[in-house]
Amino acid sequence: MAETTLTHTSQLDRPEGWRGIAADWASDQRAFKNVSWGKAMMWIFLLSDTFIFGCFLLSYMTARMSTRVPWPNPSKVFALHIGGSEVPLILIAIMTFVLISSSGTMAMAVNFGYRRDRRKTAILMLLTAALGATFVGMQAFEWTKLITEGVRPWGNPWGAAQFGSCFFMITGFHGTHVTIGVIFLIIVARKVWRGDFDTGRPGFFTSRRGHYENVEIMGLYWHFVDLVWVFIFAFFYLW
């Protein structure tokens, strides 16, 4: 029974370094000593999601390396006409800044959550959700623009046919993750606003009482979405 009660001490009386890894993982005990089950499970989910996006980026690499036809230049494909001149990748750059800003507001929300400042936490989470929704909106604009220009999963006007399928697959899955994140941000923000984590109100699905750690777990997911975009930005748009 004692195994399920959580210890959130910042200073555990346990060995550090390699000896600590061996001691934490050895024999029948919980490996993550000062991490709650919710946080550990979110990390493990994120790890599995890392493999999913890793496989997408890998298949994109394989498709791009193995085609004889030149790959379309993303710098030109994603350029916008602003004031008569072509600005390369400008929409993607703005999307990147929007997502990084949302990660910053999320980090602040987690911080204010642990300070039990309900108002600021909820407002910052809603701001994060708004920035996330902006990101999805800009992605929808980008998709529309490319589809009207003739990009399809099976071909495009500028070069290798695999460009379209890789683009729609990778950015589509990422956009889905952002959308789900926005929905959950709103749900958790509502709980914070209502004071669920102060009064210990049972959750609608698990009937378990939530803690302000839920905000941090939500934050882990949101930062992961930002993290994936860092890799997509580097490999798909800049490479």
Nearest Cα to Cα of residue 187 among 125, 133, 135, 136: 125
* Interaction between residue 83 and another protein (CB under 8 A): no
* List 56, 77, 91, 106, residue binding another protein (CB under 8 A): 106
Print the binding letters for residues 174-213 with another protein: x by CB under 8 A, - otherwise: -------------------------------------xxx
* List 96, 128, 162, 171, residue binding another protein (CB under 8 A): 96
CA 194 to chain centre: 25
- Looking at the DSSP bridge assignments, the partners of residue 209 are 202
Binding segment for another protein (CB under 8 A), chosen from 2-10, 144-152, 165-173, 183-191, is: 2-10
**Closer by beta carbon to another protein, 70 or else 148:** 70
* List 72, 175, 181, 219, residue binding another protein (CB under 8 A): 219
* List 38, 80, 93, 193, residue binding another protein (CB under 8 A): 93
Residue 87 is inside which H or E element, if any? strand 85-87
**Closer by beta carbon to another protein, 60 or else 164:** 60
Give CA angle at 221 (44, 28), nearest 5°. 25
208 burial (CB, 10 Å; 0-12 / 13-18 / 19+) is exposed
* Interaction between residue 144 and another protein (CB under 8 A): no
* Interaction between residue 223 and another protein (CB under 8 A): yes
Neighbours of 142 (CB within 10 A): 18
Instruction: Give me the count of residues in the chain.
Output: 239
